[in-house]
Each structure stands twice: as C-alpha cells, then as structure tokens.
Amino acid sequence: MISKFVREQKRYNQSELQDIFQCSEEKTVDIIKRLKEFGVLKAVKATDSQKNMSDLLEEDIEVADVEIGENEYLYVFTFVGVITVWGCVLKCCPKYILTNNDPLTELKTIIKVLEKYNAKEQIIRMYNDNSESSAFNLLAVMIFLLHDYYENGAYTNTKDIIETNGSGEILWDKTINETFTYLSNNRPYYIELFTQKRINDDFDYFKRLHESIISICSRELKDADLLDLFDILPVEVSDEELDDFGEKDYILYRIQNELNLQFNTRKQLLLKTLYAYVAHSSTLAEIDCFTMFGTNSFNLVWEKVCAEVLDNQLQTPLGSLPISLSDGYNPYDLLISLIEKPKWNGYKQDGSEFQKAARETLVPDLVSIHKMNNSHQFIIFDAKYYNIQLEHGKELRGQPGIGDITKQYLYQLAYKNFVNDHGIHDVKNCFLMPTEQHSIINKGYVNIEMLDALGLQNIQIRQLPAELIYSHYLANEKMDIGLLHL
C-alpha cells in the first residue's frame, strides 16, 4: 500500500495528487471522485488567490465533475487524521504544520488527542447498525479491536473440569456414589475426593476467532505503515484465517448465538464488533474499501483542547470561582448564565406589550478568572483555528472575520457588570491560534476604534505551540496562563 502525508487546506492540482497516489490518471480521477463523495476533498477554482489561501470558504467550493488532465480546479483536503482509499493511505496533518513534510511525531500526538476527544464526542464512528455498508469504518474497527486486546486480553470462555483430590469445590454426590468408602467407628472416610475447578478454555471457538482477527488486523496495519502512527505494538497470536472457522454465514450465526448468552458489557461490545468485521469482511487494500479515522471539524477539537488546558470556567458555579462573591449573585448560578439573552417584544390585541426571551445567546469559547499579583484577571479567550499571516511587508490573510472580532467585544460587554461588581480591573480579550513552533508567539492585536471608545479591550493574538497544548491536554494538566503575558 502507498502511504503518504498530505496537509489539510493545502491546494493540490491533479498532477500533484497523481504523484501522491502513484497511479494512472484514470485511477487518480477515481480516487478524487471517491474522496469528494465522502466530503473530505473539495474543489475550488485554480486562481492565484486560491493558491495562497489557508482556509476554505463555502462560497469558494465548486461542484463539478472530475475529468482526466483538467487544470481548471485545485483540490483541498478538509480532514485531519488517516484516510485509506483504493490501497492508498493518506495521513492528513493539520493546516498549521507548514514546514515539516514528514510530521509523523506530530500526527501521532494528534491521533492520541483525537482518541481522547472521541471518547466523549464520538466523532469517529466504528459502524452504524442502521445504515448502509458504506458507513462501516474498517480502520476504526481494527484500531478498536487492537486497543481492546491490549487492555482486556483475548476473549475468554470458561469450562468446568473435574479433578481427583484437586483444590476446587468438593463434589460430594459424585464422591459418595463413585469412590470407595472406608468405615471406621461407623464413620465414612474417603481416600479420593472428586473436585470441580473452572478454567479458561484455550480452545474455545470465540477465543480462537478473536485472536485470528486481531492478528489479521495487526498484519494489515503493519502493511499500511500505520502501527507506529497509532502507537500500537504488532500482535501475532494466531496463524488461523477466517476461512478456518467456516463460511461467513456460519461464523455470524455462531457469534449471534454467543451474543444471546453473554450479558457482560465488554463481551457484548467485542462480539458486536467482531460480527461487524466478519459481516463486512474486506481489507484496507481493496478497491471498494474507503475508511477514515479522524475529523473534518478539527476546529472543534482545538476549541475543546484549549478550554481544557486553560481552565474554562463558563460551566463553574459562581460560588466556586476564585473570588469573593458579591451580594445579589446566586452562588449556584453558572458563569455562562450571566450572559443576557435577547428579549423579543410583541403586542397583544389590546396594544399592550408582551416579552419572550430567546433560548440562545452569545457563548464564548472559554472564560478564565485567575489570581495575578494579588489581584484578579478576567480573560475572555476565543480559540481560533486559523493560519494568520500578520507580517510587515506582506498581505494580511488567514485572519478571523469581522463577526469573530465584534463577538469578542460583546463578550466583554456581557460581563461588564459582573466585573465591576467584583472590583476586577484587569480584563483581557485574546484569540488563541495553533502553531508548529515551540514557543508562544505574541502576534499582535486587533481593535475597532469605535468600540475602544466604549472602554473595551483590544483583542490580543497569541499563537500557542500545539505540541505543548496537546501534552497538557493528554496529561489532564492546566497551563499557566501567566505564560501568555497578556
């Protein structure tokens, strides 16, 4: 299998993709069509302005058929993670990795972040019982099975064996009826006792099936150069193939019967996954096998990671904040509940007014209150997944839009009364963007002068080393906000 790195949001022409896929023009077109079909590749007009863009706007996306040798369109990956298509493994790294063409270490960390994020958000699905076979995700199933094997071991079933003078429970009925009895002073004595012991059945059908599938998955991931990327050690515990266990329908029949007997949650999930694997039996190298492990919404992952690492307090009760709560505030209210909701006013038939409050309102990415030099700092962060170019002598591009800027100002207005009531004088606004660099970069700030006149703060821009943020996230650690020097 071909295994190559590609970059999210980078513009590729058809010939560049053909070099990556290492195949004919015809097959390249087929792969492009397949990627577009699953929404992980978009087409845009081949213009000079598009070549320099680091983000994809909805209005730029072109809906057009792919033809051999055309140069009218550029193609953009909108995915972070791993894709396998037609025997080709595409390792899609995030758009902020600009200088490293072989970012194996970085992508390994990102895979761990995705796995942790996925544990709660379920962005990577193994399969969907109610949909077509195309929803089956072979790569995700393989990785799940290998992780489960290392955590829980092989599927086990027990069997009861009877021993003579063993260490298990004594079977008195069998002992009395089937052994020789000595009598002494009218008391019976038994030289031999039948005992019962429960042991794991090493030749159990499902244990063998599980070990066979695990070994097959391990070999396939090794051939696809993915074991190291997913930080998985190879497993070779069986040389049996699926054919050794009978026809597909027979294997599925046996698994279904076993499912009806098992009530252990782990065993049920494992059996269902084995069932899906056998039912859709295919390999990563097959032409019609398309599988993904990752997300086309990495911006949400970045937001979540920043919120965890920088101690988001929006869902914190006011009474638990690191301040002395002023009178008039309910200590059980959440910090986010202080943001006013729009009120819609209408008129009754008699001309009097009535009012309805909207359910939704402004929601910042994260707000953090922390102590700084014997005073408190109130910081409103917005995690922005952008590659900003803010350099002297170069064109400004890759920046957040006017809506993102005005919302940051409004967030400060929304908390103005709370901040004043608690004597907090140090209020900061900040965009957080990822970088492949190894130190925090003070990129500058953005402001709107008419809003500055209202006493609102400029919005500072900090580029955070993604590796540092991910390491804190994976270790469940908070980052020292003082390092941002806001």
* 228 confidence band (pLDDT: 50, 70, 90): very high
CA distance 91 to 80: 8
Structure confidence by residue, pLDDT tens digits, 155-165: 988 766 677 88
In this prediction, what percent of the chain has a pLDDT beyond 90? Answer: 67
Higher pLDDT, 87 or 358: 358
Which residues in 104-126 are b (16+ Cβ under 10 Å) and which e? eebbebbbbbbbbbbeeeebbeb
pLDDT at 436 over 50: yes
Over residues 160-176, mean pLDDT? 77
pLDDT at 221 over 80: yes
Is residue 338 within 8 Å of 367, Cβ to Cβ? no
**Residue-level pLDDT at 261:** 87
**Residue-level pLDDT at 203:** 82
Among the ranges given (25-34, 206-215, 279-288, 415-424), the one the predictor scored with the smallest mean pLDDT: 279-288
* 62 confidence band (pLDDT: 50, 70, 90): low
Closest to 66 measured CA to CA, from 32, 20, 41: 32
Does an H or E element contain 145, and which? helix 138-152
**Residue-level pLDDT at 402:** 94
pLDDT at 300 over 70: yes
Report pTM: 0.84
Neighbour count for residue 376 (Cβ, 10 Å): 20
Structure confidence by residue, pLDDT tens digits, 72-107: 889 999 999 999 998 899 999 999 999 999 999 999
**Residue-level pLDDT at 133:** 43
- CA–CA distances in Å: residue 340 to residues 312, 359, 361, 367, 380: 19, 10, 7, 16, 16
Spatial neighbors of 322 by CB under 8 A, at least 6 apart, are: 369, 370, 371, 376
In this prediction, what percent of the chain has a pLDDT beyond 70? Answer: 92
Closest to 159 measured CA to CA, from 170, 168, 146, 147: 168
CA distance 409 to 250: 64
**Residue-level pLDDT at 456:** 92
**β 459-465/441-446 pair status:** antiparallel
* 128 confidence band (pLDDT: 50, 70, 90): very low
Instruction: For the sheet with 158-164, list strands across it.
Output: 158-164, 194-200, 169-170
* 132 confidence band (pLDDT: 50, 70, 90): very low
Higher pLDDT, 135 or 240: 240
Over residues 270-278, mean pLDDT? 93
**Residue-level pLDDT at 373:** 78
Higher pLDDT, 24 or 158: 24
Higher pLDDT, 76 or 372: 76
**Residue-level pLDDT at 129:** 42
**Residue-level pLDDT at 56:** 67
- CA count, 13 A, side-chain hemisphere, 476: 1
**Residue-level pLDDT at 52:** 65
Q: What end-to-end distance do the CA atoms of the chain give, in Å?
A: 48
Structure confidence by residue, pLDDT tens digits, 302-314: 999 999 999 999 9
Among the ranges given (96-110, 188-202, 323-337, 368-382), the one the predictor scored with the smallest mean pLDDT: 188-202
**Residue-level pLDDT at 176:** 81
Closest to 387 measured CA to CA, from 5, 6, 9: 9
CA distance 109 to 230: 9
**Residue-level pLDDT at 172:** 80
Is residue 60 within 8 Å of 44, Cβ to Cβ? yes
**Residue-level pLDDT at 159:** 62
pLDDT at 393 over 70: yes
Over residues 230-235, mean pLDDT? 93
Provide the phi-psi class of 112: left if phi over 0, else alpha when psi is between -120 and 50, else beta.
alpha
CA distance 278 to 107: 30
pLDDT at 10 over 80: yes
pLDDT at 43 over 80: yes
Higher pLDDT, 474 or 375: 474
